[in-house]
A and B are shown apart, each in its own frame.
Chain A
Amino acid sequence: MNGLETGKPPLLEVKDLSVSFGDFEAVKTVSFTLQPGEILGIVGESGSGKSVTCRAVMRLLTGAARAQGKVALDGQDLLALGEEELCAIRGRDIGMIFQNPASHLDPLRRIGQQVAAPMIRHLGLGRREGLRRAVKLLEDVGIREPEKRARSYPHEFSGGMKQRAMIAAAIGCQPKLLIADEPTTALDVTVQARILQLLKELNRKTGLAMILISHDLGVVADICSHVVVMRNGEVVEQGPIDDVINRPRHAYTKLLIDSQPGRKTYGTADRPDRGAPLLEVENLSVSFSSGKGLFGGLAGNSNSFRALDGVDLTINAGETVGIVGESGSGKSTLARSIIRLNTPSGGAIRLDGQDVGALGGEALTAFRRRVQMVFQNPYDSLNPRLTIAEAVAEPIWRHGLADRKAAQKEADALLEMVELPRSLRDRKPRQLSGGQCQRVGLARALALKPQLLIADEITSALDVTTQAQILELLVKLQRERSLTLLYISHDLSVVSSFCQRVYVFKAGRIVEEGVARQVLSTPQDPYTQALVGSLARLPSLQTTPSAEPVSIHAT
């Protein structure tokens, strides 16, 4: 299975592949081979050229791109083929699945038809036979009631189910190779674990060779036997997965491994001091009216969705509290309720015993100074028309804490504090990287010297190495400024390495709470257990896994 050494001819051979867009070289002399039945992982940050490499293999690059080198599938050079021959290979010999299943399914056609389409086209099946096989495939990829589901439209499927349908469509013609480009990035962790399990099973049962592209070393380590680490369009390291993870040779690979969430503890968890309760949330409920029709206002809100349902939590001064849950579990709704971006339908939020909901006028402004929030999307959370120095200075002079000139000076100090070089101060957000923007967001939130800082998924849009840097910065700031921190994330490993206490959210309720380490090591609630079980963690240094990685899933 794992053999550059075995005498078998490789299924896919990529040799000295370079891809350039104009003057910019996205991929520089990349070489790797893939044996039949093997799963190869390609890891790297965004912009490292991993997706471009695979698109070059599929010949899916845009017209501006120029690919050079050799890409041979079963000895046939793909780069030399004409468009017609390529069409015969794509979908039949090579299947591909993408990051966002929603955008690759036609919303107007039934799932069954879409799964059947490549088979009807490539294998010359009749419509009826194609549909019959599609139903079988849907069953194979673990979709319940496949006959009924084949008649559904994409919008009736969840994200995980869509990705399963995409996989079904991709493997319909029994391709020799499946390329999966970040197939689980857009999915929740528990769903992600199940999709990876499915890919692993497909590989074991049918011997389907795969290339798995991911920014997440944990995911790759979980199911791949070989790994290629890419950075800036170059391969920095490749080899069998346990060699690379346990004995990384390149400094970048080491950095990537160390940046994995959960590899590192940040020292906040050990702080003994427990202050008085700063923020108390009592029996908080938030509901949104859904399906607001023409007469929605008249008919009353009979049809409402409860985003939060009776939530109680306490945050003590100086504490770091984590909130974990999947998308839709109400984490962000909680954050938005605390900072009064939406109105609760019941319950109370108290800061130092004062009801936040009742604040107005001057008291509300004072509250804004005490509680601040950093948002999820690094680019969207900054006004594109303002330079970063302006954005950071604005809260200071708007709150009358200093005149504009003094505020500018203070903003410079803040930017320095979040470790942004001075030369960037006059740039617009679009000219910065995601990590840099997130630092600006942090500086802006800290400009009013808040007591409580809410961080809502602030690292989920960032690469792992950047994520580790931001977390480190957050810990440093917390220490220096004695901040109380509410850290919201879908990533249990980040939260547990970073927070003292965690609350686990599911469907608007708290299902488990407690000291971070305990919740992670001995989860009580079945949902938390599933969450802990689905962590795609790197194998620890001591236990070297076999070539066939042990299943750590709790599906």
Chain B
Amino acid sequence: MADTPVLAQIAPPARRITPTMPVALAILFGWLMVALTAPLIAPYDPDAIDIVNMLSPPGAAHWFGTDQVGRDVFSRVLYASRVDLLLCFAGVLPPLLIGTTIGLLSGYFGGVVDNVFMRIYDLTVAFPFFVLVLAIVGVLGPGLLNFILALALVGWVSYARLVRAQVLTIRESEYIQAAKCLGYPPRAILSHHVLPNAVGPVIAYAVSDAVLVMLAGASFGFLGLGAQPPLAEWGVMIADGQAFVQQAWWICLFPGLAAISLGLGFALLGDGLGQIQRRGVTA
């Protein structure tokens, strides 16, 4: 008790933006612009086959070289960013919304509903994430849409548990007691008082989850279960190129670098958001 004001005063002045944030935002904004303007900046049609120039190394005509059927790797990397970015949002948003809603309700009201959802949660985490997604995609059949569906079916539990844990502590706080005592309707308490205080860590987690989803998307593309050829997707491109990696390293390298940079952008953003969120309440 005696220490708190002193500590509050000695804490260094809160910097709202950590050094990682500008870097993260620059990377993500860059990829977003690339995805939006891909048709304008891509020098070739990503699917145009040019047998004459197949497996030509990076040069003035083809900056990133061409693949085994002569498609321009640079154009394909640019176009693939559209698929992969979309995948990130489609893979993160549904589980985020479903999981947050379920976590909010089951944490706040408790009881039977909570018990049921927590058992489902236990069941889901008993399997490794990839294995479960793999199994669901296996049953539904390969394809981007099924992959996104599988992610939503498996991914919501992490969000639900995160939100539920937050809600359990917030529920007991005196400002929620006060809100009940002031006669606010439960819907208002949930949306106005519980949710805004519970959602911080969820957002930070969602951003790091985007990395996972993107890598999963690339891996599933690589396994032939996600995006289907000839659609340009970084994972698919790497998978296609691996047979030629001895002669033509560029087919795999550039999509790989693209995936890494986007992943890094999301990871840094998640890190920065987490820091801000931790500090935000005290500042």
Contacts and interface: CB of A to CB of B under 8 A. Distances in A.
A50 B3 CA distance: 9
A341 B180 contact: yes
A492 B165 CA distance: 38
Interface residues of A, number: 47
Interface in A363-380: 364-365, 368-369, 372-373, 375-377, 380
Contacts of A448: 182-183
B5 A46 contact: yes
Interface string A145-160: 0000000000000000
Contact of B183 (A24, A364, A383, A461): A364
A52 interface: yes
A444 B182 contact: yes
Contacts of A182: 1-2
A492 B39 CA distance: 78
Contacts of B178: 373, 375, 381-382, 441, 444-445
Contact of A430 (B177, B184, B192, B283): B283
A99 B182 contact: no
Among A49, A52, A385, residue most surrounded by chain B Cβ atoms (within 10 Å): A385
Contacts, number: 101
A101 interface: no
Interface stretch (B6-14, B19-27, B122-130, B142-150): B6-14
B215 to A, nearest CB: 34
Contacts of B179: 383
B1 A99 contact: yes
A385 B196 contact: yes
Contacts of A48: 2
A108 interface: no
A380 B3 contact: no
B7 to A, nearest CB: 9
B191 interface: no
A176 interface: no
Contacts of A47: 2, 4-6, 9
Given A46-B4, A99-B1, A185-B1, A22 B10 contact: yes
A375 B181 CA distance: 11
Interface of A: 21-22, 24, 26, 46-52, 64, 99, 181-182, 185, 213, 215, 336, 339, 341, 364-365, 368-369, 372-373, 375-377, 380-385, 394-395, 398-399, 430, 433, 441, 444-445, 448, 461
The 8 closest A-B pairs by CB, nearest first: A368-B183, A21-B10, A47-B5, A381-B174, A375-B174, A380-B174, A51-B2, A395-B182
Given A21-B10, A64-B10, A375-B174, 12 more contacts: A47-B4, A49-B6, A51-B3, A339-B181, A364-B183, A372-B181, A381-B177, A382-B178, A385-B196, A395-B184, A430-B282, A461-B1
10 contacts: A21-B10, A46-B3, A99-B1, A215-B1, A381-B174, A382-B175, A383-B175, A395-B182, A398-B184, A444-B182
